[in-house]
Amino acid sequence: PPPHHDIYSIEDLAQLIHDLKTVNPRARIGVKLVSEAGVGTIAAGVAKARADYILVSG
């Protein structure tokens, strides 16, 4: 998928997830991360942003 140039922080991601779930409360929101050093810290932030699932690829 293309990178989203409107997401620069975990807070931006959390706001996007909130907005999507407001529009469709039954939506399952997933976030795909690239496998690299430090991905665990980023994944923890994504989980706190309330994503329903996280896919670590690579």
According to the model, what pLDDT value does residue 6 have?
Answer: 81
pLDDT at position 55 is 97
Rg of the chain (C-alpha set): 11
pLDDT at 25: 96
Contacts of 54 (CB under 8 A, 6+ apart): 30, 31, 32, 33, 43, 46, 47
Where along the chain do its domains lie? Answer: 27-58
DSSP category for residue 26: T
Tens digit of pLDDT per residue, the chain (58 long)? 566 778 889 999 999 999 999 999 999 999 999 999 999 999 999 999 999 999 999 8
